[in-house]
Chains A and B, each alone.
Chain A
Amino acid sequence: MLKGKVKLDVTKLENFEYDMSKCIKCKGCYWVDHIYMPGIKFSTRCPSATRYLFDSYGAYGKMRIGMAMLEGRMDYSDELLKTLYACTLCGACDVGCKRNLDLEIELALEALRIKAVKDGKGPMPEHKKVAQNIITKHNRFGAPHENRNKWLPEGIKPSPQADVLYFVGCSAAYTHPEIAQATVKILNAAGTPFMLMPDEWCCGNMLYSVGMVDEAKKLAQRNIDAVRKSGAKTLLLSCAEGYRMWKVDYPKMLNIPTADLGFRVVHLVEFIDELIKKGALKLTKRVDLRLTYHDSCSLSRLSEPWVPWEGERGEWGMVSPKLERRRGTNGVYQQPRDILKAIPGVELVEMIRMRENAFCCGAGRGTLEAFPDFALWAAEQRLVEAKEVGAEAIVSTCPWCKDNFSRAVNKNGGKLKVYDISELVLASIKE
């Protein structure tokens, strides 16, 4: 809608006609913020356009393609689906664009995938398999549902009732139990009682990511109801992708503000940071490591809370009532850094692209499943950057990142160590 009623509703591509039609090809979505431009190397932030090069893979191309889809000028093809899905939806384009303009790029990209699904053309075949797993087995791997809590370490018992509910997520439950285990041990060490969901299901990240919004919405409602019913005040996540689902995408799908969920959505790093600053958690054991921190997209630039908005767009493109744009300014950037700096022996070195300019690991939002080579390539780019600053290890706050980095290290036989931040915190807690 160029003028008239408009709503931040991703189920209708028309809502983003203004945003798509006003892209000016400044490619702020592609380059690192020019203020932080590091020179010739590591100068871009969009994995998709950096890998595939053609303008159609940058947001500037996708906005034009989106307009063509909206206006019925573009037929579905393999190339079109690749353009829509060989993208990590990492939000780098969105915050880059919003440095200067008021355009909703990330939402437009999400709306394009939703349209592809509605038109019966999306998602990619690999996504459909994962979706099937989620619907039938309640996890994205298709693993037996009854194994979901097998990660629980001996000696740690969740409380039947607590203020904190730890939502483990599929990755930490099935493929990266070390993260879930470290998380609950940290809680234990801090004397924080926690509970688990009586019957935890997948958060539906993949469903929403690939445009299967109806299925994702059902899951969102089911999960939110379960947490509300539990009486938890805080929902704790150790997975950045899950964090964004709960904090941003669920409210978005259900058209409610994050604040109205009825509970606080907190990532482990926010929780630990508070504990450390309150003195409730002490990191005393040395971890002698020169490491670098990778900002997971969903914890950093994409994690600002959701506030529904609908109104009118009028002359000069102005909207009313006022819309507070999510520009990535208030993402979770500092807390993980403060935590790492608090670990004795850790030398934190920053990568060249950091915070809102960080280059995505390549795994998220359906990329790893449908375009594994691209996902691996993106992780390799990041590892080159980590090596460039002399890091011995790369640390992130998301099992998706850890998984993909590990894959890249294994493929190339590198010596770089890959950690989730929970593992390092645990290592620094005196037993």
Chain B
Amino acid sequence: MAISQEAYKVLKSIVGSEYISTDPVVCEGYRAGPGGYECGLGYERVMTKLPSCVIMPRTTEEVQKIVRACNKYKVPYVPYSTGWYGPRSHPHVADELLIDMKRMNGFEIDEEHLYAVVGTGVIYSQLQEEAMRRGMYIVVGGGGSQVSAIANMIGDGWSPLSYRIGLPHRRILGTELVLPDGELVRMGSLALQDDPFWGEGLGPDLRGLLRGFTGHRGFLGIVTRMAIKLLPFQPERLEPTGISPHTTLQLPEKRVKWINFTMPSKDAMGRAMFEMAKAEIGGGVTKVPIFWRAIARASCKEEFWELWSKENEETISGFHLLRVLLIGFASEEQMEYEERVLNDIITELGGEARRTRPSDESWFKNADSAGMWLMCGSYVSVDYVIETIEHAIPHGENYAKLKRKFTPPLMPDYGDPGWFQSFELGHQGYSEFLVYWDPDENTDGVDQFYLETSKENIRKRFYTSLLGSHQPLYLTGPAYGPNYHKWLLAVKDEFDPNFLCHPPVPLAHDQFVERAEWMRPMKDWESPEMKP
């Protein structure tokens, strides 16, 4: 045990002996890798450590006490909800306390005012089922149904369904945040009374503390409770059917329907997204990367590769599959109307409807991102930008070109340009670029590609509304800011003067580049000596 006996005693007194451990076996169970999101890469190997202690609080008060004790005894700590988000949600420094939030699984739902109040341990599929049972729904972030709803709401939190519902920051209502020194911030209407129905609250909107840069990786405190806005859904049940692994939600076809369209070009897909938005129709939309189709068709890894090896540059560049979700929110007639409008749009653009299964496997309740690991045993979304559709399409194409230099070790994908979609009824365009590699080969090139994308964004002005935590702050801050990095560090200093809340975030990737010898030659930007 590396944290002091005194600190341990205090921590134990907060939660009780059953919910704290320094046992090496228990701590080993919290290792980030070797498998998982971003795991097996240099960042995981160089930057993560095993926790020296794991603690499981039950209440916000306990979290406050733990954080205060950490400050008193100078124990670095990291909050951990499900551990899904790879190395970045695991300890980075020696002698760190991991605060496992799974016991904070409180749940209340307000049907009248359409929101749910969840604890950090509640995951998306739980929330979605509770919502749907009551005629409401939410976006299950593409990261997966297995993620903490809170963690995803303050992190990424989108999917093709965000086309209709919008991005997650708009759905964060009253929220409790334990600051890095243990002080409790009650945001939104919680600041006034014990009612979280309102997100903005009085004065400046403090929700920026949650989502700013890499705040969602736990470097500006710990969210313990959040009210999440739910949206009205249609009334029919989405019926679970099948036996694993062939489980699916059977859709009530007159109220909910996915339709796949083959389109003549990428531009036609983008155009369709625009036109749908202008007509204000649809519940979701996305371009389907050919990977997904192969994953969906394959019953195992080997079968995937059998299918995938039949592809080539030509088939990939000619594959334009648009997947549209229609929801009859108000009535069957509404959906019929939307389908007619959609068909008109698609016909005008030269597209054609394909036979589509009346089921949903991937977006309503089960965002099965885990399936992304089927192909290679590794996966990461190397970059994602939220801007416009015109911006999203070339972003992916550009990355596809860049990727060629790093293939191998990246998986051969014949120039696949990632995927794009529109958010918020066409007001934003989204591009996400997925990469895969063989984790049992040398992965230095993957780490390098990762960094090269940050540079490419700067070079090609693929400015993004969100900076990924894999982008070194001293590289991107001056380019995007120009003083963004200084502001961010000043905020960090103000709220976390002891730098105990998940150090060395937000400088973790900067430190990785310094520490990993295969990354150092890529460093062509200035940075001061790192702390801590």
Interface residues of A (CB under 8 A from B): 2-3, 18, 21-28, 31, 33-40, 43, 53-58, 60-65, 67-68, 73-75, 77, 79-80, 83, 95-96, 98-102, 315-320, 322-323, 325, 327-329, 333, 355-357
A37 to B133, CA, bound (A): 12
Give the residue of B244, B370, B375, B411 whose beta carbon is less than 8 angstroms from that of A26: B370
Are B56 and A53 in touch, CB under 8 angstroms? Answer: yes
A99 to B305, CA, bound (A): 18
CB distance from B29 to the nearest CB of A (A): 3
Are B29 and A61 in touch, CB under 8 angstroms? Answer: yes
Are B103 and A36 in touch, CB under 8 angstroms? Answer: no
For A329, the chain B residues whose CB sits under 8 A away are: 243-246
A31 to B105, CA, bound (A): 14
CB-nearest residue of chain A to B437: A316
Within 8 A of A (CB), among B385-443: 411, 438-441
Give the residue of A22, A37, A62, A327 whose beta carbon is less than 8 angstroms from that of B244: A327
For B240, the chain A residues whose CB sits under 8 A away are: 35-36
Are B126 and A83 in touch, CB under 8 angstroms? Answer: no
Q: Decide: A27 near B146, CB < 8 A? Known: A33-B247, A35-B366, A99-B244.
A: yes
Are B302 and A37 in touch, CB under 8 angstroms? Answer: no
Are A65 and B243 in touch, CB under 8 angstroms? Answer: no
For B246, the chain A residues whose CB sits under 8 A away are: 329
B84 within 8 A of A: yes
A310 to B367, CA, bound (A): 33
B35 within 8 A of A: yes
CB-nearest residue of chain B to A69: B28
Give the residue of B244, B302, B361 whose beta carbon is less than 8 angstroms from that of A328: B244
B130 within 8 A of A: yes
Within 8 A of A (CB), among B250-307: 300-302, 305
CB-nearest residue of chain A to B122: A40
Are A37 and B129 in touch, CB under 8 angstroms? Answer: yes
CB-nearest residue of chain A to B440: A2
For A323, the chain B residues whose CB sits under 8 A away are: 300, 302
A96 to B29, CA, bound (A): 19
Chain B 30-44 per-residue mask, 1 if CB under 8 angstroms from chain A, else 0: 110011110100000
For B438, the chain A residues whose CB sits under 8 A away are: 315-317
CB distance from B382 to the nearest CB of A (A): 17
Are B146 and A38 in touch, CB under 8 angstroms? Answer: no
| Number of residues from B at the complex interface, CB < 8 A | 67
For B82, the chain A residues whose CB sits under 8 A away are: 25, 27
For B125, the chain A residues whose CB sits under 8 A away are: 31, 34, 37
Q: Decide: A37 near B25, CB < 8 A? Known: A333-B243, A356-B243.
A: no
For B440, the chain A residues whose CB sits under 8 A away are: 2-3, 18, 317
Give the residue of B28, B146, B367 whose beta carbon is less than 8 angstroms from that of A28: B146
A329 to B373, CA, bound (A): 21
Are A67 and B244 in touch, CB under 8 angstroms? Answer: no
A322 to B370, CA, bound (A): 22
B491 within 8 A of A: no
CB-nearest residue of chain A to B379: A24
Give the residue of B28, B373, B441 whose beta carbon is less than 8 angstroms from that of A100: B373
Are B247 and A316 in touch, CB under 8 angstroms? Answer: no
CB distance from A389 to the nearest CB of B (A): 16
For B19, the chain A residues whose CB sits under 8 A away are: 53
Give the residue of B28, B35, B300, B368 whose beta carbon is less than 8 angstroms from that of A23: B35
Are A96 and B244 in touch, CB under 8 angstroms? Answer: yes
Per CB-CB distance, the 9 closest pairs between chain A and chain B, nearest first, are A56-B29, A61-B29, A34-B125, A37-B125, A26-B370, A34-B366, A34-B145, A100-B370, A24-B36
CB-nearest residue of chain A to B37: A24
CB-nearest residue of chain B to A36: B240
Are B25 and A27 in touch, CB under 8 angstroms? Answer: no
Are B301 and A318 in touch, CB under 8 angstroms? Answer: yes
Are A61 and B36 in touch, CB under 8 angstroms? Answer: no
**Extra inter-chain contacts (14) besides given A62-B29, A319-B302, CB under 8 Å:** A2-B440, A21-B439, A23-B36, A24-B370, A25-B84, A26-B84, A33-B366, A53-B56, A55-B100, A56-B29, A60-B83, A74-B28, A77-B24, A327-B245
A319 to B144, CA, bound (A): 27
Of A24, A62, A315, which is in contact with the most chain B CB atoms at under 10 Å from its CB?
A24
For A328, the chain B residues whose CB sits under 8 A away are: 243-244
Are A316 and B376 in touch, CB under 8 angstroms? Answer: yes
A43 to B146, CA, bound (A): 11
Are A316 and B305 in touch, CB under 8 angstroms? Answer: yes
Are A40 and B146 in touch, CB under 8 angstroms? Answer: no
B329 within 8 A of A: no
Are B248 and A54 in touch, CB under 8 angstroms? Answer: no
CB-nearest residue of chain B to A77: B25
Are B133 and A35 in touch, CB under 8 angstroms? Answer: no
A68 to B244, CA, bound (A): 30
Are A100 and B371 in touch, CB under 8 angstroms? Answer: yes
CB distance from B133 to the nearest CB of A (A): 7
A179 to B438, CA, bound (A): 52
Of A37, A43, A323, A327, which is in contact with the most chain B CB atoms at under 10 Å from its CB?
A37
B54 within 8 A of A: yes
Within 8 A of A (CB), among B324-376: 361, 365-371, 373-376
CB-nearest residue of chain B to A57: B29
CB distance from A356 to the nearest CB of B (A): 5
B249 within 8 A of A: yes
Are B302 and A322 in touch, CB under 8 angstroms? Answer: yes
Are B54 and A54 in touch, CB under 8 angstroms? Answer: yes
A26 to B84, CA, bound (A): 6
Are A79 and B25 in touch, CB under 8 angstroms? Answer: yes
B205 within 8 A of A: no
For B122, the chain A residues whose CB sits under 8 A away are: 40
Are B23 and A77 in touch, CB under 8 angstroms? Answer: yes
CB distance from B147 to the nearest CB of A (A): 9
A26 to B366, CA, bound (A): 12
A100 to B35, CA, bound (A): 14
B123 within 8 A of A: yes
CB-nearest residue of chain A to B40: A21
17 intermolecular pairs with C-beta atoms under 8 Å apart: A21-B439, A24-B370, A24-B373, A31-B146, A33-B244, A34-B365, A36-B240, A37-B145, A40-B107, A55-B26, A61-B28, A64-B29, A64-B30, A65-B29, A68-B28, A318-B301, A323-B302
CB distance from B123 to the nearest CB of A (A): 7
CB distance from B143 to the nearest CB of A (A): 10
B102 within 8 A of A: yes
Are B368 and A100 in touch, CB under 8 angstroms? Answer: yes
B21 within 8 A of A: yes
Are A102 and B25 in touch, CB under 8 angstroms? Answer: no
For B28, the chain A residues whose CB sits under 8 A away are: 56, 61, 64-65, 68, 73-74
B377 within 8 A of A: yes
For B374, the chain A residues whose CB sits under 8 A away are: 100-102
Give the residue of A27, A37, A315, A316 whose beta carbon is less than 8 angstroms from that of B126: A37
